[in-house]
Amino acid sequence: MYFKIGEAARRTGLSIYTIRYYDKEKLLSFLKRDKNGQRIFDEDGLLYLGMICCLKDTGMPIKDIRHFIEWSMAGETTIDKRECLLREHKQKILEKIVKMNGQLSQVENKLKMYARQKKSINND
């Protein structure tokens, strides 16, 4: 099954502009074109795009994602590099999750304070 940019946008939640921008930034070098020059997304292409979204959403900058994609395109000899990059990134995600849990508590504490404050106002 093949898709064009509009469908790829619908499926990933990215805008068409953003997808073209990613292509310009060499994140989508795996894409083929049809005879009119339109981008063709196959199943694999959508999976790659999904991975790109995952990396981006977890805070990886575009130039690092570009390396990851370049290495992926270069074949098996680059598996070690890719693994290393993903391992480090995984660590960062873990740290983010820990940090975010702390921040969640901070917000919850503030909400508890408000609850107490409202109670004491009512008891005036």
Partner DNA sequence: ACTTGACCTCCAGTCAACTCCAGGTAGTAG
Partner DNA sequence: CTACTACCTGGAGTTGACTGGAGGTCAAGT
Angstrom distance (rounded) from CA 83 to CA 68:
10
Q: Which does 86 bind (CB under 5 to 8 A by kind): a copy of itself, DNA, none?
A: a copy of itself
CA 35 and chain centroid, separation: 31
Angstrom distance (rounded) from CA 9 to CA 7:
5
- Decide whether 35 or 116 has the Cβ nearer to DNA: 35
85 within 8 A of 64, measured Cβ to Cβ: yes
Q: Which does 108 bind (CB under 5 to 8 A by kind): DNA, a copy of itself, none?
A: a copy of itself
Interface contacts to a copy of itself, rule CB under 8 A: 50-51, 54-55, 57-58, 76, 79, 82-83, 86-87, 89-90, 93-94, 96-97, 99-101, 103-104, 106-108, 110-111, 114, 117-118, 121
